[in-house]
Structure 1
Amino acid sequence: MSSTGEPPRLLGGRYHLEYVLGKGGMGVVYRARDLLHEQLGEACSPVALKLLGEPFAQCPDAHVLLFSEFALARSLRHPRVVRMFSFEVDTQSQIAFFTMEWLQGLTLDRLLLECPDGLPWRELQPMALQLLDALGYTHQQNVLHGDVKPANVMVGQEGVCLFDFGLGCAQAQVASLSSLSRSRFNAWTPAYAAPELREGGALSAAADVYGVACIIYELAHGKRLGKHAPMDRLTCPRQLPRRCWSALRVALATDPQQRTITVAELGRAMSCKRPRWYL
């Protein structure tokens, strides 16, 4: 990093940083031009490039945490999950970074600001099903996202896309790749983090279920659930069909032992498919 905290405009001899796309609890994501691809004939070759922000860039083992995010998500191949490209270290600045698919569209948190009364079911349902499909796929690949919230969901012309696995981990992970523990910084977003995570518990598939259920509730209600909302007083959101409410209510349970629904089961409930009693 320079004395101003800004990275050089050219990284890896090929990636020209254009502007900041977003900042998270740990990293900064830029839109960058891949000059090598442009020299080989591509008219425009944008990528998203993530590097560590201050003060994490100063930690001696922070680059390992950045690599762990890349390694976790690089094998995922799903149209609703961001694609990872490469992990590199700029030799001159010694800045570690990785490149990934540049997503066009609007993050879901910004979309929700424009919909204070929630989305109509005809718009909400396909969005919810696509998001559940993406999260269900990651769970099938034994990957936990860890930070399911509207700011980590892109909405574009081709649908939604889930990104930012910075707080994720493998379900069967025995030891972290990094000695920089995630518990050293408060990265959870309280409105979408499962209660057990806010209390210091371990990440689980049930925690991801809670996060995606909070998103669906907000899409249908227009307002956040709230981390202290009493479950016994929750009512079916105005934009949600009543036959979907029982499943969503289970997914919103504050006690993880009572959150007995999987992402796939929640997806089937949101599809509202009635059982066929004949062949």
Structure 2
Amino acid sequence: MLAQCLQDLVNSHRIPYKLAVDLFDTALAEGAAPPFPAADLDAALAAFHGARLRRHARTDTRMSDSLAPARMHAQEPPTIGHLLRDRFVLDTVLGRGGMGTVYRAVDRRRLEAGAPQPYVALKLLNGPLANRPEALAALGAETRSAQELAHPNIVTVHDCDRDGPHPFIVMEWLRGSSLKTVLHGDADFVGSQRAYRAVVDLCAGLAYAHYHGVAHADLKPGNLFLCENGRLKILDFGISSKVLSDQREPFDRSNFAPNKESPGENRSAQIRPGSMKAATEDGGDVVVVLTPAFTSPERICGRGPSLRDDIYALGCLVHLMLNGRHPFNRMSAVEARERRLVPPALPSLGASARRVVDLALSFDENLRPADAGAFLDAFSSGARRDVLQRTEQRLTDHR
């Protein structure tokens, strides 16, 4: 295939991207119609374009403007190929959200240092938000919250910076897919060993955040990422809040959870607004858009975020990963409470572990585990009891 041959030549650096495009255009002009769909051609040309950007990112910034990555102008919206802070070359759009757009970018310093992986993820605020002081405060608070949480199950945030009117966060670039994508596209995931590992990873990362007094406040499948190596990472502490307390539990770093002797029952619910709820000097707030299906009833009714609010979302996520369904068919907690719904059984779990998940989904916040560490400890202990009971039952049946 012509396109594949040209792509192989570009990838092996035997011909430049521009020459490959010229050769392809010439073939088309001479009537040599490609024997493959136009979509394949678009993908091939996109790959050529990405290769060109990566090669240019390695070159000196003094090269001619016709070849170098384009620098941002003051009011120009960022696009693929733009250079931020004379360092980051925007390479690919990874995702878009209400607050901003996330790009994969080539970090030229990493290239200069000979790093085997030159990519980072850049989250840029959307145009209207970029000039709002409260949104900038939100971005800074998100950076600070995430930088305090160095944990293998929480995405690493490197820095917060701006290029003219364009503020952005620099994060680690992850290979894989969001949990939302996996749940919709991978029929073998739900209830598998990968799903159980993801549940434990989520609990571990959240327990570490809760130990440091940070509530995520927006847990949902779109904010969880499954890496290619199977590890789950929590993303976007963008509306996180700090729960202040004079007391801290002993911390068992072997499983990233508070010790069971001090499950965190006395932790106060005094909330210091974090990023998306960051108060501005004039008293303004950034508007928070909640996801009702994963939000506790007390928060829907106007309460601020808390650790137990995260626990309600955690219970919903456990059902999605182990059973493939939301426990209340994606109804809000308030509607589910009014209808007196109860979560369905999780057949893959024993009675003890199921009881812990059911408590996490209680509409009465006082019945939920105090934090993710307490949940993880109770869930793990319950699972061990269930295994022991099943083993004893099998032995009895064989006698």
Q: When the two structures are superposed, what TM-score results if normalisation uses the length of structure 1? A: 0.87
Matches of 2:222 and 2:197 in 1, distance apart?
Answer: 18
Matches of 2:340 and 2:189 in 1, distance apart?
Answer: 20
Deviates more, 1:73-82 or 1:3-12: 3-12
1:78 equivalent in alignment to 2:187: no
How far did 1:241 drift?
Answer: 3.1
SS of equivalent residue, structure 1 residue 211: helix
- Show the counterpart of 2:243: 171
Q: Aligned pair in 2 of structure 1 residues 261, 244: CA closer, same or farther (>3 Å)? A: farther
1:125 equivalent in alignment to 2:125: no
Superposition map of 1:43-58 within 5 A = 43-58=116-131
SS of equivalent residue, structure 2 residue 165: coil
Q: Deviations over 1:64-87 (max 9, x none)?
A: 211111011112111111111111
**Aligned equivalent of 1:274, options 359, 379, 385:** 385
Q: How many residues align?
A: 274
- Show the counterpart of 1:152: 223
Deviates more, 1:128-137 or 1:30-39: 30-39
SS of equivalent residue, structure 1 residue 119: coil
Q: Aligned pair in 2 of structure 1 residues 183, 222: CA closer, same or farther (>3 Å)? A: farther
Q: Aligned pair in 2 of structure 1 residues 257, 14: CA closer, same or farther (>3 Å)? A: same
Matches of 1:2 and 1:191 in 2, distance apart?
Answer: 40
Matches of 2:189 and 2:112 in 1, distance apart?
Answer: 46
Q: Aligned pair in 2 of structure 1 residues 182, 219: CA closer, same or farther (>3 Å)? A: farther
Q: Deviations over 1:128-174 (max 9, x none)?
A: 11110000000111111111111111112141111100010211254
Q: Deviations over 1:94-142 (max 9, x none)?
A: 3111201111111101111135697225333221111100000001111
1:210 equivalent in alignment to 2:301: no
CA contact (8 A) 1:121 1:240 kept: no
Matches of 1:95 and 1:265 in 2, distance apart?
Answer: 41
- Show the counterpart of 2:206: 135
1:189 equivalent in alignment to 2:291: yes
- Show the counterpart of 1:111: 182
Q: Aligned pair in 2 of structure 1 residues 213, 130: CA closer, same or farther (>3 Å)? A: same
1:256 equivalent in alignment to 2:386: no
CA contact (8 A) 1:117 1:222 kept: no
CA contact (8 A) 1:116 1:222 kept: no
Tell which structure's C-alpha radius of gyration is larger: 2
How far did 1:222 drift?
Answer: 1.1
Residue type at the aligned position of 2:295: A
Deviates more, 1:67-76 or 1:260-269: 260-269
Q: Deviations over 1:46-76 (max 9, x none)?
A: 0111121143123244212111110111121
How far did 1:253 drift?
Answer: 1.1
SS of equivalent residue, structure 2 residue 366: coil
Matches of 2:347 and 2:297 in 1, distance apart?
Answer: 25
Q: Aligned pair in 2 of structure 1 residues 231, 54: CA closer, same or farther (>3 Å)? A: farther
Residue type at the aligned position of 2:385: R
- Show the counterpart of 2:347: 238
Matches of 2:210 and 2:160 in 1, distance apart?
Answer: 23
Q: Aligned pair in 2 of structure 1 residues 202, 60: CA closer, same or farther (>3 Å)? A: closer
Q: Aligned pair in 2 of structure 1 residues 235, 42: CA closer, same or farther (>3 Å)? A: closer
Residue type at the aligned position of 1:254: F
Which gives a bigger RCO, structure 1 or 2 (Cα 8 Å, sep 6+)? 1
CA contact (8 A) 1:30 1:48 kept: yes
Matches of 2:142 and 2:302 in 1, distance apart?
Answer: 21
SS of equivalent residue, structure 1 residue 81: coil
- Show the counterpart of 1:94: 165
SS of equivalent residue, structure 1 residue 38: helix
CA contact (8 A) 1:80 1:130 kept: yes
Residue type at the aligned position of 1:40: A
Write 1 or 2 for the structure with the bigger share of helix. Answer: 2
Q: Deviations over 1:165-214 (max 9, x none)?
A: 00102112546554198965242111112222222211000001111111
> Tell me, which stretches of 5 or more residues in structure 1 are unaligned?
none
Matches of 1:263 and 1:142 in 2, distance apart?
Answer: 11
Q: Aligned pair in 2 of structure 1 residues 60, 158: CA closer, same or farther (>3 Å)? A: same
How far did 1:20 drift?
Answer: 1.7
Q: Aligned pair in 2 of structure 1 residues 224, 99: CA closer, same or farther (>3 Å)? A: same
1:161 equivalent in alignment to 2:236: no
Q: Aligned pair in 2 of structure 1 residues 257, 109: CA closer, same or farther (>3 Å)? A: same
Q: Percent identity?
A: 28
Residue type at the aligned position of 1:250: L
**Aligned equivalent of 1:23, options 62, 87, 96:** 96
